[in-house]
Structure 1
Amino acid sequence: MPIGTLRGRRRELEELDRLITGVRGGRSRVLVLRGEAGAGKTALLDHLCAAAPGLVVRAAGVESETEIAYAALQQLCSPLMTHLDRLPEPQRQALAVGFGLAAGDAPDALLVGLAVLRLLAEAAEAGEPVMCVVDDAQWLDRMSEVILTFVARRLDAEPVALVFAARTPGDEKLLTGLPELRVGGLPDADARALLGSALPGPVDERVLDRILAETRGNPLALLELPRDLTPAELAFGFGGPGEISLASRLEQSFQRRIADLPPETRTLLVAAALEPVGDVPLLWRALERLGVPPGAEAPAEAAGLVEFGARVRFRHPLVRSASWRSTEAAALRTVHRALADVIDPHQEPDRRAWHRAHAAAGPDEAVAGELERSAGRALRRGGRSAAAAFLERAAELTPDPKPRATRALAAAQAHFLAGSPARVPDLLAAAEIGPLDPLAQAGVERLRAQAAFWLNHGRDAARALVAAARRLEELDLPAARETYLSALGAALHTGRLGEDDARVVAEAARAVEPGDDAAGLLLAGLITWTLDGYQAAVGPLTRALAALDAREHLKLIWIGVPVAHELFDDEAWNRLTGQAATFARDTGVLSVLPSMLTFRAGALVIAGRLAEASELIGEAETLGRATGLVTQPSASLNLLAYRGAERPALDVMEPAERDARTREEGRLLALAAHTRAVLGNGLGRYPEALAAARQAVAYEDLGFWHWGVLELIEAAARSGATGEAAEAAEQLRRRTSAAGTKWAVGAQALADALAGPATRTEEQFRAAIEVLPADHLGMVVARTRLLFGEWLRRENRRAEARNELRIAYEAFAGMGAAGFAERAGRELTATGETVRKRGAAAREELTPQESQIARLAVAGRTNPEIGAALFLSPRTVEWHLRKVFAKLGVTSRRELAGAL
């Protein structure tokens, strides 16, 4: 790539050169260019496209289309659709329905993501590398952002590059976690030279210094701002009263230049700005209706504001926004109406409806009905955010108060399901203005409380949910039970900070007739647990768990998982979290997907599958940022604690504890204390672990208490507080004896080995190792072996100790539980054994993903089938399999089974 073609951009161009080299070499590359408006991101993208080998496809986020599902993604994929027939039927159908090319059920968002991944891979496989460039990513519609982030994280062995440009300051969470290149201002010498080329004549050196300082080397500002200023104005620099952002100044500069254009050219620019696809024939049909003659584009092109070719292209996105922001509302409506009139209602009914909506000067039932139908189509395509936007605008345009209230309520529900609970309160307020029947009014209160709970799990949410449940008792009993369940769950989440909130809610809910569905059974069990105690609740809660199926009761998993913990039911815990993560992905319910992935990650941590858990946590956090929802830190804190990552754990834990007190989330305080205890025990700092465990068990939080008790028993036993350890073991027995599961029996055996009679220590350790389910509780089993090995060493039974400690060390090291591995290694060294360092040899072990791929290959799955199961392209699967063969020293799938 020629380095010198963009002034002052050597570093950036070298990075792009490395990207192209990697893609030419057959490996995927992903990059996000971040910088303020005018920093030169688009120029860098243009340079990249000019130098890129193979096929280049481009798309851009458009501010006016942020609510239209898949708008940007469809732009990007359009040139690749010739490869659509090479996709498996489910992926082909998902993409066709998502893009509105075929009718069908709403596609799974992640299946659409896999289809896009496969489409890119097929395009690259068919010939040359594929360069995908997405400008103005800050204006991507929600679904395009989610899908493209998903694809970016899974590109690997394909000659495909995915490069984004995103504005900053702005949404810094956009595309978080992807490789970034910050695009700042030009170096001083280059900025001065560029400014000199744009100035109309000599300018005082001190004024030059001031301009350079104020523009901070921003290339577009250096080129554009001086054009509109007279020498007299330049004498005073750009300063003025008050602070104006650089983007605002640039936009104002473009607005002044647009104002100097002939009226018909200004109309042309507005129409081009509001027609984001850049469809020139459609644009000219609209301009003909507006009375704009051919040739009207010439002054705008001469001014360097726009280019007309196969498509319309603005010099900069700020020119587009300046065009329509500087136009009066009535003129904007006229242009929207002209565009709506020339759009084919059969080919693009939703874009036509959107323009008609913006053309409406006041309420218009016909347009509102059209938007409502667009919302239905958006839902069928999987675009919940788009459906919510259509319904919201439909409500605004509805003249009759009753249907207006109904549409506002529907829009609020759609926003909630789309993962945007912050949008709910205002829409519910609008719904309440219109006449609502009692059932709908109760629904409003319920949804308001649910949204408040998702945004803040504090005490207010529980109170609001109880009020809604009481209204629903006479109107919709199943809904009342489910709302009481949410209220009780909210109160339990408040925990120690909620005084007697849980008892108050449980007493109110007990007056409601019990139900035999999953929500009713859970409610009855939790009422019993709250008011009558653990032993009485085991039976009802066991029946509730048996009735709970994540595929049917996805929104009950958040309370079902803690119940599974409470009952020591590892089978239900793994069944529910596995089902929930898979089903939430399949259905693309973004309002719950981050939580479901976090629950599943928590199960994987305790199973010892830390690498897989880490992947899910990263995905959950990315989705949480995209949806604006707060993800529970439980899995990430546990992961950091088991990895022995003290500082990173504290960096997450300390703000979580502060937030917990501010938001009245006592359950998070228990979580943080439990994490400190795990970290302390793992690092062998038992007094610290004991102090933290005491805090964790100070309140009987649902699903957390027994975890804290086991940490307390270990820390107390190793700190010499044997009496405290024995008392805690007896407290635990009251629960484990009632639960009676293998997990409960094993947990009690471990507690008794640490705190019970010395004569039975060995027997209890061996019983715990034998009975604890190793597939679901691999981390607990490894810790039990570590404790048993430590005890054997203290008993001077070194040979037996070495066996247990070696197994524990290898388990922890393989899991990535560095703190516990180091502790086991120290103990193993003390027995006289040299600990094998996991250096070069460890690199030859399979990663969790490689292991998954290998086992699916052994099971007879083809590369496309493995890719579909793991959300990878077939080429990436093939690349991983080659690495597996090399690591295991085999040459074919037939040899894999034996090698594994």
Structure 2
Amino acid sequence: MAAPVFVGRDPEVERLRGLARAAAEGTGAAVLVEGEPGIGKTSLLDTTAAECARLGMRVRRGAAEDLEQQLPFSAIGACLGLLVVTDDPAQARVARLLRGEDALALRAAAANHQLAVTEAILDLVDTWCAAGPVAVLVDDVQWADPASLVVLHRMGRGIEEYPLLVVVAARPATRAEAAGLLRSLQARGADLVELAALPDAAVTALVTDRLGAPPGPRLARLVAGAGGHPFYLTELLAALMREGWIRVDRGSAELTADAAEAGMPRSLVDMILRRLAFLPRKERETLQQAAVLGRAIDVAELAAVLEMPVMTLSEIMFAALDAGVIVDAGPYLEFRHALIREALSDGVPEQMRTALHLRAGQVLTSSGASVERVAEHLVAGTALDAATLDWLVASADELITKAPGAAVRLLRRALAEVSEERAGDLRFHLVRALIWESSLREAEQEAREAISHDPDPHRRSALYWLLMDALFRQGRQAEAVQVATVALAADDLPAADAGRFHGFCAKCRFFLRQHEAAASAAALAIEHGARAGDGYAVGLGRLVQAGLRFIEGDVGQGLALSEQAVADVGQGVLPDMPAGQSVLRGYCLLQLDRLDEAEQVLADALESNQRYGGPYLALIHALRAQLRFLTGAWDDARAEIEAGLEYPDPLGDGPWLRGLGRLIAIHRGEPATEATIVAQGQGGAAEAQYVYLDTWARVLLEEPARAAHCLDLFFPCWEHASALEHLPHRVMYHICPDLARLAAAAGDRDRAAALVAKTEELAAAQPAVSLTATALLCRGLAEGDADLLLAAEESYHACGWRLYEAQAAEDAAVALAARGDLDPARSALGRALDLYTAMDASRDIFRADARLRRLGVRRGRQGPRKRPKHGWEALTQTEHRVAALVAAGMSNPEIAAQLFLSRRTVQSHVSSILAKLGVHSRVELAVSAHQRAAAA
């Protein structure tokens, strides 16, 4: 396929060709093409598409539509081919999700659905990139819907690692959302191609190309009036040629005398309208009306809207095709250029434009057109008649899932026009649409207003549920409890709903640390749910009971109840009713040292929450990061932390993620970030439980000589652990080893004894290998008993807590050296240093060396070296597995599924691998891996 003729843009064309070649070879890039309408942006995209196709890239091309700004994912969906039937199963799955097919049966909102669709689209593009290089070209981004802008923003993140070229074209003055995308891409290093007016030499070349000869003096002066604007210039030349006003003579193209007498139009709009001057007025008006209704023209649909015979309309379309106003685009006709359509549309008075849109919407409602197609016209129209209102109510479920923004605007307009008798359903749907649109504050306000007016008890109950869900997802659990309390006090609350309201109330009170109230509400949820045969209500109650047993320290019973809750709730939980039962089950397994099982359960919970945009994503990543922190897989932990911090955090688990990241940085001797919580209780109950992480980080940074001060600062976190605003002893005993060391260094026998007593009590009540190891360590440090410390090291090894195993070996080496057993001490030091090296815990290596040197123990020349920072030896075990799967051609979603990770986590791993290996793309990584395998 030959590249289209494109005069005067050689530098820009070569720049994009170079980026396309780099993307085809594995190093991706994002490009912004900016320029005024008609300056050549689309032609540059045409040239780029041709070059990408020549390079064997998968080319996806599309343009945003001004009438579709209220339809989520319309621009990116059209570009990626998600709106058409396909045999590609991965593409078809995303298309089904985009159409809302998994949620159309819901009678309530599935908040964060757009988050789930975004992740699915990114997964699809990632899968394509694993199969070969991809080019995504989007024109007219200034009109793109917000959801498509988010996808493009995310697509540009880390793009240099992928065989992916993303080119977006936009006019310079764009609305705020589109301007934000352009800024974000530029901030990440996207190339900016600004198309200015053509220079004089290029204008001469373009005229020569079109006319077969260079312009003479009079023609040169006329074309100079186009200001180097390519589209204006080509339209001007076309008009002159059509009128026969150009004569080529003696190797030069010049104006005829007739042209000088007739005069030429003064503007591009006049030029376009003059092109249609040969048509009768009625036909010109028809084309103007078609322009109002959008770029694409469906002849049968337009005939119905204009109440015109199809044959009559077809004759007009054939004339417009001959005039070059429209072109054949396959299933539809299209205006040849956006400027042509805009010029025609602008000639229609505003009142007529809105009337046309309203008429189009009314016609389409009765023709079975898609709800989003109907909505785009109704939104651009004005008043809604009775038949359209009936359509709006009947189509609300589908419209809300596919175009929540359009649904919000139409429902607001309808509510302003209908009587109170018809307002109930409309208000309910408006609340749902606002939640689907993620406008939670507005949804809350509308829900409160609707509840105060609605006499229907069933609909009011559903509104209460939506209001609670909107509050919960904003992290406002206390207000959700108030709503549940009001709902439960209503005399006409449907009996079948009472159990669910009690269950929701119990869940909120649990997160508020109101444990007695949560227990009472959970019992009522089970009672009402059992009476009504509602497994969801029973499951909610059991889940809260499981959480309470967990908090009280009976983790085994918490696990049993959480597993019962899974059975009660079942697998078909609706997206707007996420219970979190698998999350708690994973937490219990983690506390019981059943790490492999915890890994699997949390992976399943992550996949489910990603699919439906559930509220527990940050918490799941925090649990997975905690598991990897304990096991010493710190690069993996950091990947989980990075992924978790990108999600909404209604439960306030961000401080946990940031706190773990700070601890890892300290152990590695890296600059530590600022404290996540400055003062206890500043962030409320949700964040107060993580204050101890900041205190822990501060004492780790202190000098050994200040052990007494550090103990005074840190020990209260343990003393008050049973208070409602803190985590219980059974959950946070992982701080005890550092507390025991501080107590031993400070000579504080009372606190050391208190630690011994409490950890041994916990270990006796709830057997877990890590608890037993911690009790042994605390007693060993208090008594200076090397044998107990060696036993603790062995137990920590058995449960997989690698950092703690290393620290116990270090403590044992100190105790052995103190009693004169230097060879065993040296051996224990070696084991500790081997583990520290594997974790890259340079601060711990330095401390261990210093402690043992003072006792006459040195590791010698054969001691472990510092872990490499670069090369294949620097990769962690997980990174080696990820690298191997990348080299095998697997996409990030495929790798994530195989390793029980999220796609975002895999992406973090790939970025880390590339940095360590000094390569720039997945292709270079694959080459390096194959070379390494061949050399082995």
Cα offsets for 1:566-597 (capped at 9, x unmatched): 96565575454222112223x34355445544
| d(CA) in 2 for partners of 1:541, 1:588 | 26
* Amino acid aligned to 2:454: P
* Amino acid aligned to 1:544: L
Contact 2:711 2:743 in 1 (8 A): yes
Cα offsets for 1:427-460 (capped at 9, x unmatched): 3135325424445434433432332232234754
3-state SS, counterpart of residue 75 of structure 2: helix
Contact 2:94 2:124 in 1 (8 A): yes
Residue among 778, 783, 786 paired with 1:751: 778
Cα offsets for 1:532-579 (capped at 9, x unmatched): xx36x5565343233254956753259727963896565575454222
Contact 2:662 2:673 in 1 (8 A): no
Q: CA deviation at 1:425?
A: 0.9
Whether 2:760 is the aligned partner of 1:728: answer no
Whether 2:673 is the aligned partner of 1:650: answer yes
Residue among 766, 769, 782 paired with 2:794: 769
Cα offsets for 1:837-856 (capped at 9, x unmatched): 33377534545565335787
Whether 2:446 is the aligned partner of 1:427: answer yes
* Amino acid aligned to 1:612: D
Q: CA deviation at 1:823?
A: 4.5
| d(CA) in 2 for partners of 1:49, 1:365 | 47
User: Considering only aligned residues, what root-mean-square deviation do their CA atoms show, in Å?
Assistant: 6.0
3-state SS, counterpart of residue 770 of structure 1: helix
Q: CA deviation at 1:642?
A: 0.9
| d(CA) in 2 for partners of 1:173, 1:812 | 44
3-state SS, counterpart of residue 131 of structure 1: strand
| d(CA) in 2 for partners of 1:403, 1:342 | 23
Matched residue, 2:75: 72
Whether 2:577 is the aligned partner of 1:578: answer no
Cα offsets for 1:178-200 (capped at 9, x unmatched): 9724789999xx99x99xx9xxx
Matched residue, 2:20: 20
| d(CA) in 2 for partners of 1:598, 1:853 | 21
Q: CA deviation at 1:350?
A: 3.2
Matched residue, 1:560: 584
| d(CA) in 2 for partners of 1:63, 1:726 | 72
Matched residue, 2:414: 397
Contact 2:137 2:166 in 1 (8 A): yes
* Amino acid aligned to 1:27: G
3-state SS, counterpart of residue 476 of structure 1: helix
Whether 2:151 is the aligned partner of 1:132: answer no
Matched residue, 1:476: 497
**Which range moved further: 692-701 or 286-295?**
286-295
Residue among 147, 165, 186 paired with 1:161: 165
Matched residue, 2:261: none
Whether 2:524 is the aligned partner of 1:520: answer no
| d(CA) in 2 for partners of 1:856, 1:671 | 36
| d(CA) in 1 for partners of 2:47, 2:458 | 58
Contact 1:746 1:767 in 2 (8 A): yes
Structure 1 pair 463/137, CA: closer, same or farther in 2 (3 Å)? Answer: farther
Matched residue, 1:241: none
Contact 1:729 1:751 in 2 (8 A): yes
Structure 1 pair 582/406, CA: closer, same or farther in 2 (3 Å)? Answer: same
Matched residue, 1:851: 880
Contact 1:442 1:468 in 2 (8 A): yes
Structure 1 pair 718/65, CA: closer, same or farther in 2 (3 Å)? Answer: farther
Structure 1 pair 818/436, CA: closer, same or farther in 2 (3 Å)? Answer: farther
Structure 1 pair 369/50, CA: closer, same or farther in 2 (3 Å)? Answer: closer
Percent identity, please: 17
Matched residue, 1:639: 661
Matched residue, 2:512: 491
Matched residue, 2:560: 543
* Amino acid aligned to 2:544: L
Structure 1 pair 747/353, CA: closer, same or farther in 2 (3 Å)? Answer: same
Residue among 575, 592, 613 paired with 1:589: 613
Cα offsets for 1:189-244 (capped at 9, x unmatched): x99x99xx9xxxxxxxxxxxxxxxxxxxxxxx9999xxxxxxxxxxxxxxxxxxxx
Q: CA deviation at 1:29?
A: 0.8
Matched residue, 1:608: 632
TM-score, normalising length: structure 2: 0.66
| d(CA) in 2 for partners of 1:683, 1:372 | 66
Matched residue, 1:712: 739
Cα offsets for 1:754-797 (capped at 9, x unmatched): 3x3223x432442353256545x444444444544555566665
* Amino acid aligned to 1:556: G
Cα offsets for 1:75-95 (capped at 9, x unmatched): 21239989x54x4xx425414
| d(CA) in 1 for partners of 2:427, 2:806 | 54
| d(CA) in 1 for partners of 2:386, 2:32 | 43
Structure 1 pair 809/171, CA: closer, same or farther in 2 (3 Å)? Answer: farther
5+ long unaligned stretches in structure 2: 106-112, 204-226, 231-266, 531-537, 911-920
| d(CA) in 1 for partners of 2:50, 2:765 | 70
Contact 1:375 1:386 in 2 (8 A): no
Contact 1:598 1:620 in 2 (8 A): yes
Q: CA deviation at 1:470?
A: 5.4
| d(CA) in 2 for partners of 1:316, 1:330 | 20
* Amino acid aligned to 2:78: Q
Contact 2:622 2:640 in 1 (8 A): yes
Contact 2:868 2:874 in 1 (8 A): no
Matched residue, 2:248: none
| d(CA) in 2 for partners of 1:606, 1:177 | 37
Matched residue, 1:386: 403
Matched residue, 1:839: 868
* Amino acid aligned to 2:357: V
Matched residue, 1:498: none
Structure 1 pair 42/861, CA: closer, same or farther in 2 (3 Å)? Answer: closer
Matched residue, 1:203: none
Q: CA deviation at 1:520?
A: 1.6
| d(CA) in 1 for partners of 2:819, 2:737 | 23
| d(CA) in 1 for partners of 2:875, 2:752 | 40
Matched residue, 2:685: 666
* Amino acid aligned to 1:609: A
3-state SS, counterpart of residue 580 of structure 2: helix
* Amino acid aligned to 1:757: E
Structure 1 pair 309/523, CA: closer, same or farther in 2 (3 Å)? Answer: same
| d(CA) in 2 for partners of 1:666, 1:35 | 49
Of structures 1 and 2, the one with the larger relative CO (CA 8 A, separation 6+) is 2
Aligned length: 787
Matched residue, 1:180: 188
* Amino acid aligned to 2:22: G
**Which range moved further: 61-70 or 31-40?**
31-40
| d(CA) in 2 for partners of 1:738, 1:327 | 80
| d(CA) in 1 for partners of 2:773, 2:448 | 53
Cα offsets for 1:621-662 (capped at 9, x unmatched): 44549xx998734224312321338887534x44x547x856
Contact 2:35 2:194 in 1 (8 A): no
Cα offsets for 1:283-303 (capped at 9, x unmatched): 9758966999969999xx99x
5+ long unaligned stretches in structure 1: 198-220, 225-252, 493-500, 892-900
Matched residue, 1:742: 769
3-state SS, counterpart of residue 512 of structure 2: helix
Contact 1:363 1:397 in 2 (8 A): no
Contact 2:33 2:193 in 1 (8 A): no
Structure 1 pair 783/444, CA: closer, same or farther in 2 (3 Å)? Answer: farther
* Amino acid aligned to 2:164: V
Contact 2:134 2:165 in 1 (8 A): yes
TM-score, normalising length: structure 1: 0.68
| d(CA) in 2 for partners of 1:623, 1:385 | 22
Structure 1 pair 429/272, CA: closer, same or farther in 2 (3 Å)? Answer: farther
